[in-house]
Amino acid sequence: MPELPEVETVVRGLRAPLVGQRIERMWQDWPPTIHSPSPPEFGERIAGQSVLAVDRRGKYILIRLQRDTLVIHLKMSGRLYVAAAEAQQEADRWVHVRFDLAGGRQLRFSDLRKFGRVYLTQDVEALLAHLGPEPFSDAFSPAYFLAGLRGRTRAIKAQLLDQGFVAGVGNIYADEALFRAGIHPATPVDQLAKADAALLQRTIRAALEAGIAHEGASINWYRKADGEKGDSQNHFYVYGRAELPCLQCGAAINKIRVAQRGTHFCPACQPARD
């Protein structure tokens, strides 16, 4: 699933072709993708609205219109891109929602797995109220991070995947942040010292910043808005490197399951705690 760096990269790639464009109509052939409102109301409301801005909240893409906000969650295999109406691309085979723009271009939402969701809302804050703070915001402070760990016993990897704790971190960047902090992913939260928490708060930001700098990870379906691959997968320390030597110490990277997710770590750099 695309995480914060991938979604941020898509958002940045959509701003130039979308901002200022007027949406003329919506087309869809898979109603479950349209979460709310109903497809007929959705199409009627969005027609004629112009795009004012393209932003992100956690893993959600926010296309701000004159009266509403178009909210899109890419989920497992979603791709969002702008193309000329007559242009054909490989990803078009899985386009289930399309927005026709004035001037002959289209915003296409391709989703092979059909898990993606599209919303049209006038209250983004209420829709996304379940999300915790943005990792780069002042709200995601060392004090907030430490307070969120108190009284918990689950594995730290599970804590980082909790979107109510911090928005946008997923399986990939949780593994990368934990490696940078030297913390075993199965460590119970209540075993982390204050210094561990402060370091991990910083390495979460560092891992995400690296992901954005390399324009996301094209491991499976993710592509940038222009259709090109991101490069983050070529710069990971542990994710996707099971049995390969650790870039820091040379030990073989291990892969286990934590919080029901495949989890990569270095047993030497991230030793388990007794």
Q: What percent of the chain has pLDDT over 70?
A: 100
Q: Domain ends where: 94, 127, 160?
A: 127
User: Which residues have a Cβ under 8 Å from the Cβ of 220 and sit 6 or more positions away?
Assistant: 76, 77
Tens of pLDDT, residue by residue over 71-98, are: 999 999 999 999 999 999 999 999 999 9
The pLDDT score that the predictor gives to residue 134 is: 98
Domain identity same for 122 and 153: no
Domain for residue 256, yes or no?
A: yes
Domain identity same for 50 and 93: yes
Size of the chain in residues: 274
Q: How confident is the model at residue 113 (pLDDT cuts 50, 70, 90)?
A: very high
Side chain identity, residue 197: A
Domain identity same for 85 and 50: yes
Domain for residue 231, yes or no?
A: yes
Domain identity same for 161 and 256: yes
The sign one gets for the Cα dihedral 236, 238, 239, 245 is: positive
Q: What is the mean pLDDT of residues 104-133?
A: 97
Domain identity same for 8 and 116: yes
Q: What is the mean pLDDT of residues 208-237?
A: 95
Q: Which residues pair with 261 in a beta bridge?
A: 258
Separation CA 240–CA 255 (nearest Å): 9
Q: What is the mean pLDDT of residues 253-258?
A: 98
Half-sphere exposure of 57 (CA within 13 A, CB side): 18
Domain identity same for 120 and 148: no
The sign one gets for the Cα dihedral 168, 169, 171, 172 is: positive
Residue 114, Ramachandran bin (φ over 0: left; ψ between -120 and 50: alpha; else beta): left
Q: What is the overall mean pLDDT for the chain? A: 97
Closest CA to 67 of 122, 1, 106: 122
Say what the pTM is.
Answer: 0.96
Residue 250, Ramachandran bin (φ over 0: left; ψ between -120 and 50: alpha; else beta): left
Domain hosting residue 245, numbered range: 142-265
Domain identity same for 151 and 261: yes
Side chain identity, residue 95: V
Long-range contacts of 26-29 (CB under 8 A, 24+ apart): 26/97, 26/98, 26/99, 26/100, 27/97, 27/98, 27/99, 27/100, 28/96, 28/97, 28/98, 29/96
Q: Domain ends where: 103, 127, 151?
A: 127
Domain identity same for 35 and 86: yes
CA angle 270, 272, 274 (to 5 degrees): 145
Domain identity same for 151 and 120: no
Domain identity same for 146 and 244: yes
Domain for residue 110, yes or no?
A: yes
Q: b/e for 230-262, b at 16 or more Cβ within 10 A?
A: bebbeebbbbebeeeebeeeeeebbeeebbeee
Domain for residue 242, yes or no?
A: yes
Q: Domain ends where: 72, 95, 127?
A: 127
The pLDDT score that the predictor gives to residue 221 is: 86
Domain for residue 68, yes or no?
A: yes
Domain for residue 136, yes or no?
A: no
Domain for residue 105, yes or no?
A: yes
Domain for residue 223, yes or no?
A: yes
Give the catalytic positions in this structure: 2-3, 59, 261
Separation CA 203–CA 208 (nearest Å): 8
Q: Tokens representing 209?
A: 């910043």
CATH of the domain at 188: 1.10.8.50
Task: Evaluate whether 241 touches 262 at the Cβ level (below 8 Å).
Answer: no
Domain identity same for 146 and 121: no
Domain identity same for 88 and 189: no
CATH of the domain at 53: 3.20.190.10
Strands ordered across the beta sheet of 105-111: 23-28, 95-101, 105-111, 78-84
Question: Into how many domains does the chain fold?
Answer: 2
In DSSP notation, 74-107 reads -TTTEEEEEEETT---GGGGGEEEEEEETTTEEE
